[in-house]
Amino acid sequence: MIGFIRFADSLSAWFGKAFAWLIVLMAVGTGYEVFVRYVLNDPTAWALDVSFIMYGTLFMMGGAYTLSRGGHVRGDFLYRLWQPRTQAKLDLVLYFLFFFPGVLALIFSGWKYAARSWQYGEVSINSPAGVPIYQFKTVIVAAGILLFIQGIAQVCRCLIAIRTNVWIEAEEDVFETEDLLIRKANEAEKGSHP
């Protein structure tokens, strides 16, 4: 189970980080649109649609990564006080009652929408540029599959926590700047004292 958890976490992290680069593209695209609109007085017909598509893709493809890192919103004012074993039992029930049915609905309905969109080469109706959006509909299915895989890993985490009363945490891969600076300062301080 731990091998599958690590595989799913790595897969989610790879996709999450790869699609995070869309932030840079969105910033460049928005900057370009602002320049041509206000400096050259020649706005583009495609910038708004493309920024919506990139943001939606970033949001969808980052979902599994966020799940693997425990970053989704939860009301845990009571939950956080419980033992890991109790938390895991509740999580396990909720995964099967709500998470998996929702993700399966996302995959199957997304498949239907994507297939239909690819059939007639759907384009955006929000701008005169007619930006293609059928590829964006495919992201719905891909994000659902990633969430499903990560959900199985979360169930494995629950089963391990029920047995051991300890959560298997995801490997840390992102650090706050302040934490890095404090760590560096502590290492420098330790290095200066014999």
CA–CA gap between residue 13 and residue 8 (Å, rounded): 8
pLDDT digits (tens, 9 = 90+) for 114-172: 999 999 988 888 777 788 888 889 999 999 999 999 999 999 999 999 999 998 888 77
Reading the block at residue 144, the tokens are: 């659902």
Provide the whole-model pTM: 0.83
Reading the block at residue 194, the tokens are: 């014999």
E strand segments, 49-140: none
Domain borders along the chain are: 2-71+80-168
- Residues contacting residue 45 through CB under 8 Å, at least 6 positions apart: 127, 128, 129
Statement: residue 184 has pLDDT above 90: no
Picking from 124, 137, 133, 144, the residue whose alpha carbon sits closest to that of residue 61 is 144
Residue type, 72: H
Burial class (CB in 10 A: 0-12, 13-18, 19+), 10: middle
Highest mean pLDDT among 6-15, 147-156, 172-181: 147-156
